Structure 1
């Protein structure tokens, strides 16, 4: 500001001196040449004065925020101001585009189901999405610029990060009581920076474990009757048997064969249930017909050892596949017969719920099931008492079939049991798959 005022003062002084000299010269030497020279000097001074004013306005605009338009002056300074302003606006637009692209990129990473964590060359956290924060128990804002090894102190993770060998992923245990599994991959980029990718593989590990257990259980279940059959065949081939002994051996062989056939049938049923689409909601099956059939099968299996009560007068129809529904109800009733001691009671009844849904309950007076076993009862081959289940003829797949059937029909299997007080298995069906039979539909069936 000082230099600009000094320049204006000098220009003004020059103009005054020029005017005075011109006036004096005009009086003493009244010649045209001198007058022209004095006029030209005055014009040059005025031009310099206005040029300095334009330069001053441009400098003031450059010293500011440049949010307003540049001074719209003519000439050299006006052109400079316009071009500087255009370059600034172009740069601002480019920065805005880059900022928008970065926000969209980070939003895409934020939406990823995997964890993403960025470290600088000192292993300090530069950025992480919410999934990574959840995996490593971090705060996405508070923990920025913190060293990752000060926050994630698992020895295996610290050693893996410091070793620098990232060809194979690291498996970490996470969650309460170490019930979760995390796969961690580290990749280097830039100048010593690191990108950490994390994937929750808990469900995958659980599924792999269940698959391994399933294969082992199937192998065990099939190997046992095959060993018995092989022993009986060798006995019949090498030893002279009397007719009663031969009939007994053949009877035992038939039992083991039947056991394998039942196991294979249950496995095929499960495979079919898992690979088939959901049953159509417009194919209605009379529940009373199903109850009459399972009552006959249960009575034959019980051979008079239990009090079986099945109320087959519900006038209810269920939307679904008749064979699947029959299999689910039949499995529950046959389990009740197998595990209820002689003289015990088994009760099957239907109950309509307030929201229009319905519930079929199979209750028994058996020994009951301890609470810790209830969550695992529907797992394949899971047995509370393995030896007793095999003696009763069960395959360990019945409740798995029941669960798959009721879930495919949009319902739910609920199990209530207490040791010494029996068990209750409830098939709950949604209102969309339950309806009451019309009277005009029921009458012809009764007359027949």
Structure 2
């Protein structure tokens, strides 16, 4: 038994004993009642003193007491001191964490499960214009009203980053990434990518300008080569072979410039004219005929599985460029006698086009980079087929402009399947003006 508790028990026993002895001496019970009542009053006073001590705003030393009550005060004071030390340590950790976050050049924003601002660092004040006096607890979408940002949060798919202008400076580009944690809470981080954006724009402008400048001299060169090929007699075989090779390479150069200009237009202009009802069957049927002519010496079997009433809301020229690249690639990389299937279908997830072949296939390690411009998993075979290395980059950008995505599946030696997935909003389920 605790020493203080033992003393308190002995005190109670002693009080009861003295009160009984006094009661026996006087022949009445009132001394016992008075003794017990006195102990109750003393304990009640101690209890009220404890209440006053616990409810005061500023912490003070515990009241003087003895016995069990004194031990109780002492233990409570130790607990309070331990709690204060824990709070001070926690406050120190929070303070250091806030200092570390405020030292970051990147924007850090915490949002609760209802979309309200809980915390942000100093970078958010610089780049986003937040003010603690008026913005704390406000919905984030009330402060960042860019349509792409609102749609990005509503969609809930944060696998890709979002780039939008800063709310306080249209010339500054911010890249946002969102991490979900807890119950519906979100951590937003944004970094300034203005410099990278400008460098990328300079690269695009450079490629577009150079490609445009090359177009005219190439046209002149091809014109003279065609004239020379028409005038050089067959007897001058060595010269004709040189001219044929020059013509072949100039054609390849012309295709490269054409693809570069198309890619520059897809990347550098706003998407427009995307809601024409395109007759997909007619377009793909023409492409199949062209593919058969291209593969005449390879004797490919090209199968078309497309409903005659298949239609899609799209830009016809861009759609033709994307589908044409996929079908041409299938012809180029499928050995003689191979089988190519062009298939179109619609379901609840949208409209879909797949181009499958049983050709040489692609190592899965290369698939994530196939849509990069000039990326070539095998330089030798691209050189043999005369590819520009831009076809799949064009397909990717066309799909982005049409709110779709390109899916690639392939296996070495077994062939490849390239599938274009369009969202349900681009399906056409009623008669309309058809382009195609």
TM-score normalised to the size of structure 2?
Answer: 0.48
Structure with max Cα Rg: 1
